[in-house]
């Protein structure tokens, strides 16, 4: 199995399968089929079988999948069988919401530090964290070995801050600023922009 | 031009082009090329030309695109040349952040009502809104002709509330609950789940 060879679009579906499997496990279910999993995620059974078979044989013909086993395999593939430390940059409204978000821990993530450059915010508490000065961001992230960041700053400063995150050794950025970010090869960005998602749906209205 | 014939993946890229064009316009730029637009959004020039040509000839060979004209065309295609009324359901942390989000108005949306079922929240203010009782949600949305909702409720109640939204005539749901939603044909759902996006990136770490 060569990580380079799996299309990113398949990688993007694995967390969706994992979320559905966790939901099934929470309900006490032990096994599932590609058909049933497909009904849960709105993806065809054939597509699910094809996606999962990229990584090995995790189910038995006619027997379906063990939910526990398949979840463990997907967690290992996605490297979330461990907990990743994440830094939050930007202590505005969205930063506040994320700092209190309950669904990270069970899915492989915990926020460990929060930065802002506003003197009125530095030293204040947000969730369980004290907001730290963004001026010390690079050295503190380097020292802590932070690889993942959630970026909730205004669009006007997002690229400049991203360049600093790259300097600090960050490899994954979840970008809430409504702007595309340029990053060097080896750094991944995912974008969350509610207006983009809404516009994609108005087309069909 | 037949709306049914354009693949959804192309529709999904149009809001990204529009956002980049708005950003260029804000900087005072008048024209752009597919190459330059591509650099802004991380998509190849060839892909952009192909996507846009699905809808007509909006640029001139060797002359590039008028930013104003192409933006207007994309807004018309996406139906965001008008402002859509959106209801927010769930007045928790994420609901608070969205109710104060500054980037909707310029992109075709405004929140017009907020619902929750928590007696301690009903009647309280959130942003500029008074939180209304979710028990009256269906009739109030119907009366107001609401077609779009941002859903920021716990996963455990998201499907049940979605069924009510469908009853109320809602056609587009931006779902922040970490669970897949089943909806009838003709209703569109987009999902925002930060853990899904983070997991997609840990694969590459």
Residue B54 buriedness (CB in 10 A; 0-12 / 13-18 / 19+): middle
Is A180's CB within 8 Å of B42's CB?
yes
What mean pLDDT is reported for chain B? 93
Is B202's CB within 8 Å of A80's CB?
yes
Average pLDDT for residues A138-158, to the nearest whole number?
97
Average pLDDT for residues B83-94, to the nearest whole number?
96
pLDDT of A70 over the 80 cut:
yes
DSSP state of A176: -
Is A94's CB within 8 Å of B97's CB?
yes
Report the relative pairing of strands A84-89 and A59-60 from DSSP bridges.
unpaired
Average pLDDT for residues B124-133, to the nearest whole number?
92
Find the CB nearest B190 among A40, A104, A197.
A197
pLDDT in tens, A160-193: 999 999 999 999 999 999 999 999 999 999 999 9
Q: Does B13 touch chain A (CB under 8 A)?
A: no
Amino acid B5: pLDDT: 78
What mean pLDDT is reported for chain A? 93
Percent of chain A with pLDDT over 70: 98
Q: Does A147 touch chain B (CB under 8 A)?
A: yes
B177/B58: higher pLDDT: B177
pLDDT of A1 over the 70 cut:
no
Q: How confident is the model at residue B4 (pLDDT cuts 50, 70, 90)?
A: low
For the whole prediction, is pTM greater than 0.90? yes
Per the CB < 8 A criterion, the answer to whether A98 and A129 are in contact is no
Find the CB nearest B192 among A78, A182, A192.
A192
Average pLDDT for residues A126-134, to the nearest whole number?
92
Distances (CA, A) of B11 to A196, A197, B6, B139, B193: 11, 11, 7, 32, 21
Measured between CA atoms, how close is B135 to chain A, in angstroms?
Answer: 25
pLDDT of A3 over the 70 cut:
no
CA distance B34 to A73: 41
Strand partners, B84: B109
Measured between CA atoms, how close is B136 to chain A, in angstroms?
Answer: 24
Amino acid A86: pLDDT: 98
Per the CB < 8 A criterion, the answer to whether A176 and A150 are in contact is yes
Is B180's CB within 8 Å of A20's CB?
yes
Amino acid A4: pLDDT: 56
Nearest chain B residue to A198, by CA: B174
Average pLDDT for residues B101-130, to the nearest whole number?
94
Is B195's CB within 8 Å of A103's CB?
yes
Average pLDDT for residues B134-139, to the nearest whole number?
97
Q: Does A182 touch chain B (CB under 8 A)?
A: yes
Average pLDDT for residues B98-115, to the nearest whole number?
94
Is A174's CB within 8 Å of B19's CB?
no
Which residues in chain B are closer than 8 Å to A41, comparing Cβ atoms? 180
ipTM above 0.85, yes or no: yes
To test the contact with chain A by mutation, choose from B157, B202, B204, B205 the residue with the greatest count of A C-beta atoms within 10 A, namely B202
Is B104's CB within 8 Å of A194's CB?
yes
Is A188's CB within 8 Å of B204's CB?
yes
Element (DSSP H or E) covering residue A77: helix A67-78
Percent of chain B with pLDDT over 90: 86
Q: Does B192 touch chain A (CB under 8 A)?
A: yes
Nearest alpha-carbon partner for A194 in B103, B75, B19, B82: B103
pLDDT of B128 over the 90 cut:
no
CA distance A204 to B192: 19
Nearest chain B residue to A105, by CA: B195
CA distance A173 to A187: 8
Amino acid A63: pLDDT: 79
pLDDT of A133 over the 90 cut:
yes
Amino acid B1: pLDDT: 47
């Amino acid at each position: 199995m060569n990580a380079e060879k799996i299309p990113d679009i398949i990688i993007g579906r694995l967390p969706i399968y994992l979320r559905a499997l966790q939901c099934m496990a929470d309900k006490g279910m032990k096994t599932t089929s590609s058909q049933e999993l497909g009904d849960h995620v709105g993806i065809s059974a054939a597509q699910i079988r094809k996606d999962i078979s990229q990584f090995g044989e995790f189910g038995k013909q006619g027997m379906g999948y063990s939910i526990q086993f398949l979840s463990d395999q997907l967690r290992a593939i996605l490297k979330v069988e461990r907990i990743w430390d994440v830094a939050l940059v930007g202590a505005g409204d969205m930063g506040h919401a994320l700092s209190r978000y309950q669904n990270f821990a069970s899915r492989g993530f915990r926020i460990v530090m929060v930065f802002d450059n506003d003197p009125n915010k530095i030293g204040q508490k947000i969730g369980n964290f004290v907001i730290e000065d963004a001026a010390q961001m690079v050295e503190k992230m380097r020292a802590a070995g932070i690889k993942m960041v959630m970026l909730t700053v205004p669009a006007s400063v997002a690229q400049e801050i991203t360049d600093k995150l790259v300097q600090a050794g960050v490899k994954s950025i979840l970008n809430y600023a409504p702007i595309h970010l340029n990053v060097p090869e080896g750094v991944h960005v995912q974008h969350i922009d509610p207006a983009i998602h809404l516009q994609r749906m108005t087309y069909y209205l």
